[in-house]
Structure 1
């Protein structure tokens, strides 16, 4: 008995979990968008995937960046059916990457995402997945077409030159970033559990799931370096490898890692090797093939996103 009092039940609409995807260039993003049926289209579209679902999507431009927003991850299964996705073409190099990713995360916090059909998305993504091309350092054992999953990102050219040689940011006496009392200098450690699950999934994938044929790419996980000036001599490549011991080099990874650390969002970085780092010879590069392979790897992981994601202790809707 409640003495006639009316019990009021407040129902809260569940927020929609989602993942963010970032690629530096149109060339790197297009193979994924083509696989999802969203290339060269503007406005909300309903296009059924192979499972018979019709994920709405919209392509728009925000601050000179192309955004592609999907209400469902096309082809997702094993826990991924009820997740959205936003693909952003950031532009290459550190500043473009940091600006575009920050814009995405801030708009999500303010509920300003251009979302079709389902506006109540979580205020931050469960994961940021960065995909694209990279150059491999010869001692890594990687070759053109292989895949690399970053466990750590390093700013390779942030520091100081002295008559005695190059010094890292530690020479400044203050960290580049400090979060929760933990300083970061040149190195940013990614979520290794996420990287490990992604690496294992790529290694265990069924033949042809990523490549479109029976060939299976070599997959390695480890440290990667970010350089604004692309390494173009064997001498410089050897010097950087001796200093950092990295697998591969890009122009964006560390910037994404720094922004993700600031916002408390895990970053998964998956790249395909377009060239070996050393004396620059574009005739030996395969940029288009590597971009397609990285995008297929990203699509493969997203189709199994429930196996890759970290636990979500905050629950949906918590801003953390």
Structure 2
């Protein structure tokens, strides 16, 4: 099996990559093998544009059987514990639209995009694959992907109400879009590093989120 693991930054996967170096044969940079399991690490860079390019390039080279996107996320739901993990099943484009006299309207609302034209389903990029090589032992959530992370009460309130979403990232929708278009089974797993609230990094739990994410990935590696 060929597994492609994508993340925006190297530090989100440092622990996992160290585990691979210790327990797998390193074929070349970011490419590991153990018996019949190959793992390729794809550091996409931050944002949708870099994610699409990096994923397409990696898929062309590696031709994976399964793709996993792993990283941190902000949660709109304050009942979700910091450091906890979720599976993002549905993704939406959180800031692709127009400012119509102070009111945001997305591309579907202004009828420049069809909300049900594949791979979209009612505006959403939905993971409908069934056969996963990893245990789905985490709660499902809906995410939005943005170019500018929410950091003010007005923007947070607007996005939460308009999209009725649970988490916010900068790459999730791009990952879903590429995998759906390429028809490659995939999973997006996020660890909650912070709440989506007026920006205050002193409240974030980045170290905890990354440690928990990497521990889950190591424990749930597909069998070789």
Please indicate, yes or no, whether the TM-score normalized by the shorter chain is above 0.5.
yes
Q: Does 1:241 align with 2:160?
A: yes
- Name the larger-Rg structure: 1
Name the structure, 1 or 2, with higher relative contact order (CA <8 Å, separation 6+). 2
Q: 1:280: how far off?
A: 0.6
Residue-by-residue CA offset, 1:105-139 (whole Å, 9 max, x unaligned): 1223xxxxxxxxxxxxxxx3221100010001135
User: Residue in 1 aligned with 2:26?
Assistant: 57
Rounded Cα–Cα distance in structure 2 between residues aligned with 1:183 and 1:135: 23
Q: Which runs of 4+ in 1 moved over 2 A?
A: 172-179, 182-186, 191-195, 197-200
Rounded Cα–Cα distance in structure 1 between residues aligned with 2:58 and 2:65: 13
Q: 1:184: how far off?
A: 5.6
Return the match for 2:67 from 128, 132, 157: 128
Q: From the superposition, tell whether residues 298 and 244 of structure 1 become closer, same or farther in structure 2 (CA, over 3 Å).
A: same
User: Residue in 1 aligned with 2:183?
Assistant: 264
Instruction: Tell whether the 8 Å contact from 2:86 to 2:140 is kept in structure 1 after alignment.
Output: yes
Return the match for 2:53 from 99, 105, 109: 99
User: Residue in 2 aligned with 1:166?
Assistant: 104
Return the match for 1:137 from 61, 76, 95: 76
Secondary structure of 1:20's aligned partner: strand
User: Residue in 2 aligned with 1:27?
Assistant: 11
State the Cα RMSD in Å: 2.3
Q: 1:102: how far off?
A: 0.5
Rounded Cα–Cα distance in structure 2 between residues aligned with 1:305 and 1:130: 18
Instruction: Tell whether the 8 Å contact from 1:169 to 1:186 is kept in structure 2 after alignment.
Output: no
TM-score by length of 2: 0.89
Q: 1:284: how far off?
A: 0.4
Instruction: Tell whether the 8 Å contact from 1:93 to 1:251 is kept in structure 2 after alignment.
Output: yes
5+ residue gaps, structure 1, are: 1-16, 39-46, 50-54, 61-67, 73-80, 109-123, 201-218, 307-320
Q: 1:242: how far off?
A: 1.3
Rounded Cα–Cα distance in structure 1 between residues aligned with 2:50 and 2:33: 25
Rounded Cα–Cα distance in structure 2 between residues aligned with 1:177 and 1:305: 36
Secondary structure of 2:130's aligned partner: helix
TM-score by length of 1: 0.64
Q: From the superposition, tell whether residues 254 and 296 of structure 1 become closer, same or farther in structure 2 (CA, over 3 Å).
A: same
5+ residue gaps, structure 2, are: none
Q: From the superposition, tell whether residues 282 and 23 of structure 1 become closer, same or farther in structure 2 (CA, over 3 Å).
A: same
Secondary structure of 1:33's aligned partner: helix
Aligned length: 222
User: Residue in 2 aligned with 1:116?
Assistant: none
Rounded Cα–Cα distance in structure 2 between residues aligned with 1:177 and 1:32: 37
Instruction: Tell whether the 8 Å contact from 2:129 to 2:186 is kept in structure 1 after alignment.
Output: no
Instruction: Tell whether the 8 Å contact from 1:151 to 1:192 is kept in structure 2 after alignment.
Output: no
Secondary structure of 1:144's aligned partner: coil
